[in-house]
């Protein structure tokens, strides 16, 4: 089970997985993505990335089914967190339109 202790790797891992999915990443970002994914694989105990070296097609990397699953869950989590944040903000600052103090000109 993914808990906050081990799960700390989930967010950077998901971002790294996005990079592995073909996002635009510079050399530094790619190195970081590889490091994060390797660390996450060790921490989670599952393979997240399938890679091949060089050769005629130049090698490459793709997410495993577990990597795709983790990434999809993280994206869903982020969407829910964003929606909750927007709702909470609207509720907390609902008074904004009723401010009657002197306005800036």
- At which residue do the structure tokens 């060790």 appear? 42
Tens digits of residue pLDDT in 24-46: 556 667 777 778 888 888 998 99
Decide if pLDDT at 83 tops 50.
yes
For every residue of 15-55, which 3-state class applies, written as one string? Answer: HHHHHHCCCCCCHHHHHHHHHHHHHHHHHHCCCCEEEECCC
Q: What is the pTM of this model?
A: 0.60
Instruction: Report the distance separating Cα 16 and Cα 36, nearest Å.
Output: 7
Decide if pLDDT at 70 tops 60.
yes
pLDDT given at position 14: 58
């Amino acid at each position: 089970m993914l808990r906050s202790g081990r799960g700390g790797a989930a967010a950077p891992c998901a971002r790294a997985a996005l990079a592995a999915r073909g996002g635009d990443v510079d050399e530094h970002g790619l190195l970081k993505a590889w490091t994060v994914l390797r660390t996450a694989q060790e921490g989670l105990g599952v393979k997240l990335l399938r890679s091949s070296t060089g050769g005629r097609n130049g090698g490459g990397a793709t997410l495993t089914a577990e990597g795709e699953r983790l990434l999809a869950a993280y994206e869903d989590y982020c969407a829910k967190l964003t929606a909750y944040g927007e709702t909470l903000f609207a509720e907390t600052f609902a008074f904004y339109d009723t401010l009657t103090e002197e306005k800036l000109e």
